[in-house]
Structure 1
Amino acid sequence: MTSPRVVSLAPSATATVSALGAADLLVGVTGHCDPPDDAGRAHDRDGPPETVGGWLNPDLDRVADLDPDAVLTSDGLQADLAETCRDRGLSVSHREPADLDAVVETFAARGDDVGRPAAGERLASAARERLDRVAAAVAGRPRPTVYCEEWSDPPMVAGNWVPEAVRAAGGRYPFVDAGERSREIGLDAVAAADPDHVVVHVCGRGDRVDPATVDDRDWAVDAPTHVIDDSLLNQPSPTLIDGIERLARVFHPTAFRSADQGEEGDA
């Protein structure tokens, strides 16, 4: 059976395909994607998958030249792009999860998209098991109030699945409801909520953010600032589960201390 040729136009799709163990199917990705070293090998490529441009402005002629069996897109910002690809006769699988459950369901759906349904089901099941373990660890503990900032100029409070990610990690998030888009927020509104933690995950910046840009603001917030790689919270891929585990350890370090010490002892 011939392996499908897959072009991913979304970093989250690329990360999910990689987590499925199907990175070898990728023949094209965007410059914002981070494919593993084995990407493209199913098609005897000499190097990594071809880079076809940015995630909002890919070169669709280059995409078409790769003769893909599936083009993967994600997020409402790529909805028009997905339609444009379809208009060009490309087979597109567009996934647009808005909350945490939908993100996990997308893991299984991506397995279907690339012809690896069993791997997709396993990935979704493993994600749910990890979330269950976090939930058990933080159960019954006081929930700190958390402010998550997705953009800093102007400040934007994170929406989509981030409210649920914070709650899954044992926090309280009074700023945006799950499924709502990220939005601009006034500093007075943040201060009024009196957060116990400030989490900064600026879109596209990884963890390359100076916490002083937030700490030195003229605002009435007295809480520690945690800079987290934006892919751990902004990306609807398995890295989001990593991000939830990371947040849970920030909010409730004693809940995981025994387990972490056990892991060190086993090393």
Structure 2
Amino acid sequence: MDAASLAPRRIVCLTEETTEWLYLLGEQARIVGISGYTVRPRRAREEKPRVSAFLTAKIDRILALEPDCVFGFSDLQADIAAALVRQGVQVTVFNQRSVQEIFSMLMQVAAMVGQAQQGLARIAAMQARLQAIAAEAAALPRRPRVYFEEWDEPCISAIRWVSELVGIAGGDDCFPELAARSLGKDRIIADPLQVVARDPQIIFGSWCGKKFRPVKLRARPGWSPVAAVRDGELHEIKSADILQPGPAALTDGVEQIHRIVMDWARRHG
């Protein structure tokens, strides 16, 4: 009997990153339900029933799918997990907040579906690319100050894995002390003029699924002297590409940040 035959056969993914990873591993047939916020891969929305939001889920519908495993993320889904556990469902809730923890989650999921070797190979390729990006960034004569905004009202700064990816890509997070705080409410910048004081040279907006509007940011009182505002260095990165702690952030998300940082360095070197 091989490892794949012992793996869960009916998996519900309450967030996007495990769905994307299972598709990359070629194990999408095991998925019987996904989050309604899933956009990666696009085909998942067409092939799989949507059974949850982020903070809520259709428990009866999940139970009807007869899952033998449910993947969730963080304490924010603790109530969903508890409701399913009380119904006898196996639930695995990951709580990855750093780049290293994302890789750990990916390895655990790959092993659970009998794809440990493929998982290791894919992880090694992602790690090698991150190392190459970091090497390019290390050669920059100047590193830009970067403000990454997860939400606009109130202003919320980057979570840990995003802050780490900004660093790998060649930028310096303006609020590194906030990045270590896992909860969004603890990363609120109470006085937006703190951003002005730190004078970021690049601003990334990724407003949790809401479209980033540079014109709205430019209009903030007192923000006109900020270097990024003055120089037009206001860039959107789609939430699905950077705020999901999974493959997307480690590939497309960091690549976008790196490309913008390198463009800035060429103009300001």
Which TM class, normalised by the smaller chain length? Answer: 0.7 to 0.9
* Distance (whole Å) between structure 1 residues aligned to residue 44 and residue 120 of structure 2: 21
Which residue pairs with 1:157 in the alignment? Answer: 157
Residue type of the partner of 2:254?
I
Residue type of the partner of 1:56?
L
Q: Supply the RMSD in Å over aligned alpha carbons.
A: 2.2
2:17 to 7, 12, 21: 12
1:56 Cα deviation (Å)? 1.6
Which residue pairs with 2:80 in the alignment? Answer: 81
1:114 Cα deviation (Å)? 3.0
CA deviation string 1:83-139 (max 9, x = no partner): 332222111121111111111221111212333222322222121111011011111
Alpha carbons 1:6, 1:114 under 8 Å: kept = no
* SS in structure 2 at match of 1:217: coil
Give unmatched runs, 5+ long, in structure 1: 41-46, 257-267
Which residue pairs with 2:237 in the alignment? Answer: 228
Residues 196/6 of structure 1: CA separation in 2 closer, same or farther (3 Å cut): same
* Distance (whole Å) between structure 2 residues aligned to residue 128 and residue 251 of structure 1: 20
* Distance (whole Å) between structure 1 residues aligned to residue 264 and residue 180 of structure 2: 30
Alignment of 1:48-87 (within 5 A): 48-87=47-86
1:32 aligned to 2:37?
A: yes
Residues 70/115 of structure 1: CA separation in 2 closer, same or farther (3 Å cut): farther
How many residue pairs match? The answer is 248
Which residue pairs with 1:213 in the alignment? Answer: 216
1:179 Cα deviation (Å)? 3.3
Q: Write out the 4+ residue segments of structure 1 that deviate beyond 6 Å after TM superposition.
A: none
TM-score, scaled relative to structure 2: 0.84
* SS in structure 1 at match of 2:213: coil
* Distance (whole Å) between structure 2 residues aligned to residue 179 and residue 123 of structure 1: 27
* Distance (whole Å) between structure 1 residues aligned to residue 176 and residue 159 of structure 2: 6
1:184 to 188, 192, 202: 188
1:254 Cα deviation (Å)? 8.1
1:36 Cα deviation (Å)? 4.2
- Comparing 150-159 and 106-115, the one that deviates more: 106-115
Structure showing the higher helix proportion among its residues: 2
Give unmatched runs, 5+ long, in structure 2: none
1:35 Cα deviation (Å)? 5.7
